[in-house]
Amino acid sequence: MKKRGGYVNYFEEITGSMVGAVGGKGANLGELSGMEGVRVPDWEVPDWRVPDWFCVNTEAFKRILAESPVTTKLLDQLSHLTINDREEIVKIGAEIRRAIEAVVIPDEIREEIAGAIAKSGEANAYAIRSSATAEDLPTASFAGQQDTHLNIIGKEAIMAHIRQCWASLFTDRAIIYRIQNGVDHRKVYLAVVVQQMVLSQASGILFTADPITGNRKVTSIDAGFGLGEALVSGLVNADNYKVQQGRITDRRISAKKLVIKVVRNGGTAQHHVDPDRQNDPVLTDGQILVLERIGRKIEAHFGTPQDIEWCLADDIFYIVQSRPITTLFPIPESPEPGNRVYISVGHQQMMTDAMRPLGLSFYLMITPAPMRIAGGRLFVDVTPHLSSATGAKAFMETVGKSDPLIKDALLTLIGRGDFIQPSPDDGNAPNTLPASMRPQVKIEEDPSVAADLVNASRFSLQVLKQNIRSKSGAELFEFILEDVKELKRLLFEPRNLAAIMAGMNASAWINEKMNEWLGEKNVADSLSQSVPNNVTSEMGLALLDVADAIRPYPEVVAYLQALETEHFADGLEQLKGGREASAAINGYLGKYGMRCAGEIDITRTRWSEKPAMLVPTILGNVRNFEPGEGKRKFDLGLREASEKEWEILSRLRQLPDGEAKALETKRMIDLVRNFAGYREYPKYGIVSRYFEYKKAIMEEAARLVNAGVIHEKEDIYYLFFEELHELLKTGKPDYRIIEGRRNDYNVFEKLTPPRILTSDGESITGKYPMENVPEGAIVGLPVSTGVVEGRARVVLKMEDADLEEGDILVTAFTDPSWTPLFVSIKGLVTEVGGLMTHGAVIAREYGLPAIVGVDNATRLISDKQRIRVHGTEGYIEIQ
């Protein structure tokens, strides 16, 4: 039996549970070393007492920190920095590294390391690899944040490089990465793996899921000549091989002009590859398939897709590292067998952020669609709509009108023929379209239909407000379940769907016919300006009225500009004009305070709960506009729509059969004017009810906190509705579930959901047609006509917006809560959206050229860059 010390662990004793002692890399390597058929670098030495590898554990690192009191002080300073404190990060990080490298390694640690080196062979070459306790974890890889040193020979050189690895925990990139991931610098420790240096003829990276598409059944292998340093540092283009179900499906051979090899006395050096070999494949087909099987075995052992570093020496594959792939979007769990296809709900709702469990619960309670949860988002299973050729065609044509990217992605997936293939039919297949996509009940041009629906919703909401006050405890949750039935009755009442579709269908008819008869595109956009009864566009104009109430009072304006607290009402009342300002703000909140960014998630903070969120927009309106701007904007839109109607009808009357065409067009224009505004009301009704539910639920949460049942009110956000209902009955929360879901949510927030996702985890992307698009232009979906040029403002959070009149807003998505910003801008570009999503509807009503569905718009367009938005043709030019 080997005698073990306190600062060195040998790999034969290391398991995956020892992250705290040997870091993520060390723990994973320990697991790998015990797997049959997988070799981790070792020496075939007859003496069984010689360790295969060893790891200088985190106790040694903690001792080093203790030997340097200044480091503790610097770590305290570092813990208060944010991502914006770049200069301080660089300065303090450098000081910490210098302090660590200056520490003399204590004799006890030095002796243990020296003993391990002596047993392994001091003359051998080693790879010295950092292994932090916050790396290679299931939720964050932290890959490449700390140092690795190759081909290190000699005891003193090894000691020096171990010290460098310790110091590398505080490189600028490592510090910034921890801040971005919310990791406490003082709770991360570093171990150092000392590993045989494999003199590799080839090396690379293997992903057991395609890192680009996410397909869990595709293995992706990158391979280069020599050591892997050239590949991971980007010095060479690697070969890439794709393997699926034991078959090589793709190979891309690159010109590999450089190779990194070991130097005889230590270190590495770059060499040029002979021109005759540069385009040779690194691996044979047989080697590719062997490596793929090794990867699948490792994946099965760890139970999750892996990012594996490998090398090849003497025709033997060695695995030098394996970590979870942390960037994959989760696959929805489905009770249905076979291949499934899912569409993102968030892309339809213009809110692709992750949702907490309680928020997911309420959405699931009101939708009849077959929903699945993945990554804190909702996806609808559309597989049944693709089961027959006729059904698939009808479904894709319908969704394609709103979002061409979804249609193109589905066509691509079906066209491949390797995942889902609609069966041929005789044209009499059952109608599988969702209710909103089926023919609606007929409603005529009677504008009272929309008014009747609004009044019914308002009356029902007042009944809810009155009745919910007397409910508490488990009775409250039973009451909410009953009231959700009333909400669903209102939403799925036939006239409600018919009213929504009447305006949409009339707009589509106008656009199609005016293009056919007059050669003019997107005419309905101009006709949709300032339609009556659009509660969302009215919300944006109403905030201009709030600015009008505040603008005459300089003290109030100065007070709001200097605001540093969320609670400003008390101080406001003491100022000249403060009461008038408070009345205007409270009046606005009385009608719209239930709204907020991401409002379909009931757990999101509402404007009424944090009115300070509106202050930047109010101040922008005070600064950018004159009194009465709200009415002027509405009147201007009304006048332009009326003039466009007269122009169109006049031109139509000049055509053959012109009177009939003009008469039918007039009927369609009236449908647009009568019903387009109602499109926004059902969601307003939903969030209005949500807010009443939330206020009552949070009162129950406060009681639970006071009773010592839960720690804080927001803990209930991480329970599904049924679980919260049960908690009210038992008074026994499971904090393992709550904290686990809180951690999951923090991870899910960083993920980007795909529009289309398969049950293999593959993200299917669509493309826009590129005809008549200038070279270098950025393409999207045109949703509001016109051309505008101006300054782009890239805004990721509404409360961070600093807009001037005439700016073009570029953002990820805009749900109704963003509408108050629309009054300041003259163009809109979003990454998410479709023809009838909220941003598109409001852009048309305000007469703003707009393009949505622009992938990566917030990265492709820089803040304050000059751009030209072609809202009719669907592309953006950077000036």
- pLDDT at 786 exceeding the cut of 70: yes
pLDDT in tens, 474-506: 999 999 999 999 999 999 999 998 999 899 899
Residue 762 tokens, joined: 């593959």
Contacts of 646 (CB under 8 A, 6+ apart): none
Name the band, by pLDDT with cuts 50, 70 and 90, for residue 36.
low
Amino acid at 240: N
Q: Does residue 141 surpass a pLDDT of 60? A: no
Summarize pLDDT for 329-358 with one digit per residue, the tens.
999 988 888 999 999 999 988 899 999 999
The three-state (H, E, C) secondary structure of 182-213, written as one string: CCCHHHCCEEEEEEECCCCCEEEEEECCCCCC
Would you say how long the chain is, in residues? 879
96/105 Cα distance (integer angstroms):
16
Residue 277 pLDDT more than 70? yes
pLDDT in tens, 250-265: 999 999 898 999 998 8
Q: Is 277 exposed, middle or buried (0-12, 13-18, 19+ CB in 10 A)?
A: exposed
Stretch 274-287: mean pLDDT, rounded?
A: 94
Summarize the confidence of residues 276-293 as an average pLDDT.
94
Higher-confidence residue of 134 and 826: namely 826
pLDDT tens digits for range 381-423: 999 999 888 889 889 988 888 888 999 999 999 999 889 888 8
pLDDT digits (tens, 9 = 90+) for 96-129: 999 898 888 999 999 999 999 998 888 899 999 9
* Cβ neighbours for 378, distance < 8 A, ≥ 6 positions apart: 344, 345, 346, 355, 360, 363, 364, 371, 372
In this predicted structure, which of 423-437, 611-625, 765-779, 792-806 has the lowest mean pLDDT? 423-437
Burial of 622 from C-beta contacts in 10 A (0-12 / 13-18 / 19+): buried
Contact 405, 765 (CB under 8 A): yes
CA distance 345 to 355: 12
Mean of the pLDDT values across residues 211-234?
90
Give the separation between CA 666 and CA 654, rounded to whole angstroms.
Answer: 15
Of 76-80, 131-135, 308-312, give the lowest mean pLDDT range.
Answer: 131-135
> SS3 helix, strand, coil % of the chain, rounded to 5?
50, 15, 35
Q: Which residues are catalytic?
A: 838
> pLDDT tens for residues 627-675?
999 999 999 999 999 999 999 999 999 999 999 999 999 999 999 999 9
Element (H, E) at 535: helix 535-550
Query: Do the strands 850-852 and 218-225 form a parallel or antiparallel pair, or are they unpaired?
Result: unpaired
Average pLDDT value over all residues in the chain: 90
Give the distance, in angstroms, between the CA of residue 211 and the centroid of all CA atoms in the same chain. Answer: 16
- The model's confidence at residue 280, banded by pLDDT at 50, 70 and 90, is very high
- Per-residue pLDDT at 343: 96
